[in-house]
Amino acid sequence: MKKNIWVATANINKVEEFKVLLPNYEIKSLLDFKEVLDIPEDFETFEENALFKAQTLYDIIDETVIADDSGLCIFGLDNFPGVKSARWASPEKDWNKINDKLLEKMLEHKLNSIDQRQASFVTVIAIFNKKLNIKEVFRGEIQGTILTKLTGNQGFGYDPIFAPSNHQNSFAQMSTSEKNKYSHRAIACQKLREFLDKI
Ligand code: IMP
């Protein structure tokens, strides 16, 4: 029987990616919870947010928890939206509008050429289990280009405007398995798997 790993997220897209990225584990998430658990992510770094999410869920279920905190860092905008990726456009929830708003911001800052449109997608995964004395973070980062318009309809969040370096296609034009070959989350998960293999 596979061991459980809890993921402190209610984002179904992230859950699906984790199922593929950690095939040796039974992935449980906030989607398996009856009550709604909305964990704030107000810290200044991905590391702090990821650890806080993992610790918050661990305090409730007392089992090993992982949590990721991710964001898109646009170099020409001083890494904006970065750690604020989930909330800078709040209360807007429509991802087409959020992505359009970000593209408008880039135009306002005259970020037109490919060189000016460079960005990186960052994921930090925290793993926490107080009883087992486990508290680690793993960072995954992939550089790419912000496209001039939304492209593709797979994936989620910023996927339609981000194409990894050396690829014409946006993440939203890729299947989950293709995105998982080189995404920020896949890189962080590889480090997590190496850690899990050792414990
Ligand atoms: P979170 O705080 O880790 O949930 O993520 C910050 C924001 O980035 C969320 O609004 C997500 O929709 C978005 N995001 C996180 N991971 C990805 C990804 O792999 N692709 C596209 N958008 C993402």
Spatial distance between the Cα atoms of 195 and 167, rounded to a whole number of angstroms: 30
What residue ranges define each of the domains in the chain, with the CATH number in brackets? 3-198 (3.90.950.10)
Among 32, 38, 68, 69, which one carries the catalytic annotation? 69
Could you tell me the distance, in angstroms and rounded to a whole number, from the CA of residue 169 to the centre of ligand 1? 18
The predicted pLDDT at position 199 comes to 85
Kindly calculate the radius of gyration of the chain based on its CA atoms and give it in whole angstroms: 17
The predicted pLDDT at position 187 comes to 97
Spatial distance between the Cα atoms of 69 and 151, rounded to a whole number of angstroms: 24
Mean pLDDT of 163-178: 94
Q: Is the pLDDT of residue 7 over 90?
A: yes
Q: Which of 66, 61, 173 is nearest to 125 (CA)?
A: 66
68 CB near ligand 1 (under 6 Å): yes
Contacts of 149 (CB under 8 A, 6+ apart): 103, 161
Could you tell me the distance, in angstroms and rounded to a whole number, from the CA of residue 18 to the centre of ligand 1? 13
Mean pLDDT of 98-125: 97
